[in-house]
Amino acid sequence: MAKELAKSKDKVNKVETKEEKELKTTPIVEKPTAKAGKRSSKAILEKQALLEKEERKKNSEEINASEKTKLIIKTRPKAERRSKKYKEVYKTIDQSKQYALKDAMKLAKLTSTTKFDASIELHINLNVDPRHADQNIRDSIVLPAGSGKSVRIAVYIEDLEAPKDLQADIVGGAELLQNIDKGVIEFDVLITTPAMMPKLARYAKTLGPKGLMPNPKSGTVTNDLTKACQEAKAGKIEYRVDSNGIVHTMIGKVSFSEDDLLKNAESLLVSIKNNKPASIKGTYLKSIYVSTTMGPSIKVDQSSI
Q: What is the mean pLDDT of each run of 10 residues along the chain (305 residues)?
A: 53 51 52 54 78 78 64 56 79 89 92 89 94 90 89 85 80 89 90 91 89 88 90 88 92 93 94 92 92 90 85
**Could you state, in order of their start, the residue ranges of all structural domains in the chain?**
97-148+235-305, 150-234
Q: Give the pLDDT confidence score for residue 91 in this predicted structure.
A: 86
Distances (CA, A) of 24 to 16, 18, 30, 74: 12, 10, 15, 77
H or E segment and range at residue 262: helix 258-274
Q: Give the pLDDT confidence score for residue 46 in this predicted structure.
A: 79
In CATH, the number for domain 97-148+235-305 is 3.30.190.20
Q: What does the alpha-carbon distance between residue 32 and residue 38 come to, in Å, rounded to a whole number? A: 10
Instruction: List pLDDT tens digits, range 153-178.
Output: 999 988 667 777 788 888 888 899 99
Q: Give the pLDDT confidence score for residue 260 in this predicted structure.
A: 94
Are 301 and 99 in contact by the 8 Å Cβ rule? The answer is yes
Q: Give the pLDDT confidence score for residue 56 in this predicted structure.
A: 79
Q: Give the pLDDT confidence score for residue 155 in this predicted structure.
A: 92
Q: Give the pLDDT confidence score for residue 194 in this predicted structure.
A: 92
Q: What does the alpha-carbon distance between residue 244 and residue 248 come to, in Å, rounded to a whole number? A: 11
CATH 3.40.50.790 is right for the domain spanning 150-234 = yes
Length of the chain: 305
Are 296 and 86 in contact by the 8 Å Cβ rule? The answer is yes
Task: Enter the pTM of the model.
Answer: 0.66
